[in-house]
A and B are shown apart, each in its own frame.
Chain A
Amino acid sequence: DAKTTQPTSMDCAEGRAANLPCNHSTISGNEYVYWYRQIHSQGPQYIIHGLKNNETNEMASLIITEDRKSSTLILPHATLRDTAVYYCIVRVTYSSASKIIFGSGTRLSIRP
């Protein structure tokens, strides 16, 4: 799986949009971009994923550049409960299951 590069930490004011960048310049054509987050000592939580097109769900939006070498996760209205480590992962999935390789992630702090 391709490597990703994320800022070590970021902070954002409550109620504002949090934009978390991720670089994945070696991504292959059949690799998806996934985002997970981990609130302190809880199990990682799936947020969103995409291949080429931008995606949106009830939690977040994912913007993938046209060359697919980078992406941005957007939390539109950050709350204190969004404080967590956010992992950007690129992976190929196969019929016989596909592990997640976690990198260092971005520690996002939401300030009141």
Chain B
Amino acid sequence: AAGVIQSPRHLIKEKRETATLKCYPIPRHDTVYWYQQGPGQDPQFLISFYEKMQSDKGSIPDRFSAQQFSDYHSELNMSSLELGDSALYFCASSLGGGGRGDDEQFFGPGTRLTVL
């Protein structure tokens, strides 16, 4: 079965550079979530989109922005990168919530960002 695709899988940037991470959800999924996992930490929610609109926001720095496009893929844009941005970035997708309570999220393999 098709899974969530993330690109690139690995990315190395210098401080103050910009980075763009891409996420392609499972076909027909309309909801995308972004999570950040620092070294030795648990995943932390950043932001989510439902039907191309931002649906929730977590502890996402102002230097980061994201959007969901008409084909439902999503991009996380990160500017003025800092050493502390080095982390695994996971994207997850689901078929919305609809109040059903069964909208399990399917995670991609992640993008490992290293800021030097």
Contacts and interface: CB of A to CB of B under 8 A. Distances in A.
Given A41-B88, A43-B92, A44-B90, A100 B98 contact: no
5 contacts: A95-B97, A95-B98, A97-B50, A99-B45, A105-B42
Interface of A: 30, 32, 34, 38, 41-46, 49, 51, 87, 92-105
Of A38, A45, A95, A99, chain B has the most CB atoms within 10 Å of the CB of A99
Contacts of B31: 97
> For chain B, which range describes its interface: under 10, 10 to 19, 20 to 34, or 35 or more residues?
20 to 34
Contacts of B44: 102
Contacts of A95: 96-99
B104 A97 contact: no
Report which residue of B94, B100, B105 has the largest number of chain A beta carbons within 10 angstroms of its beta carbon: B105
Contacts of A49: 102, 104
With most chain B CB atoms within 10 A of its CB, the pick from A44, A51, A103 is A44
A46 B104 contact: yes
Contacts of B43: 38, 44, 100, 102
Contact of B107 (A43, A92, A93, A105): A43
A98 B90 contact: no
B39 to A, nearest CB: 10
A45 B101 contact: no
A6 to B, nearest CB: 11
B94 A97 contact: yes
A101 B50 CA distance: 18
B56 A99 contact: yes
A61 B35 CA distance: 27
Contacts of B100: 93
Top-3 shortest CB links A-B: A43-B107, A93-B97, A99-B45
Contact of A45 (B49, B55, B56, B107): B107
Nearest to A38: B43
Contacts of B55: 96-97
